[in-house]
Amino acid sequence: MISQQAMLLWQIALVVTLVVALVVAGLLYWLHNRARAIDHLVAAIWQAGQRVANNTVHVPQLYGIADGVEAILAKAGRIAGHAAAIEAHAASCPGCPQCIWRK
């Protein structure tokens, strides 16, 4: 038969093993939850990064638009200059607009 002392040691070993297993299970559960939270945060950062990258793709197009606006402003300035010349001529010429059609 097994002695009383051996039985007590066996029971203590089982209890210690059970406690250690429960602690390990608790730590694994906590680690799993932390990993899931980190995964959600990384996914949010990834989505934000993709949005930033998508917006950065359009920056060269904005430079092209800026060049077009500058060209339009230059042409508008020339048109305004010609309109001012026509207005000055019309103010000083008694025969306008007929004199313009003759030229």
Task: List, for residues 56-101, the tens digit of each pLDDT value.
Answer: 888 888 888 888 899 899 899 999 988 888 888 878 887 776 676 6
> 36 or 54: whose pLDDT is higher?
36
Contact 97, 90 (CB under 8 A): yes
47 and 74 fall within a common domain? no
43 and 85 fall within a common domain? no
pLDDT, residue 20, reads 98
| Dist CA 103 CA 98 (whole Å) | 9
3 and 46 fall within a common domain? yes
Domain residues for the domain of 47 are: 1-57
40 and 64 fall within a common domain? no
46 and 82 fall within a common domain? no
- The pTM (predicted TM-score) of the whole model is 0.50
48 and 64 fall within a common domain? no
12 and 30 fall within a common domain? yes
| Amino acid at position 12, single letter | I
41 and 30 fall within a common domain? yes
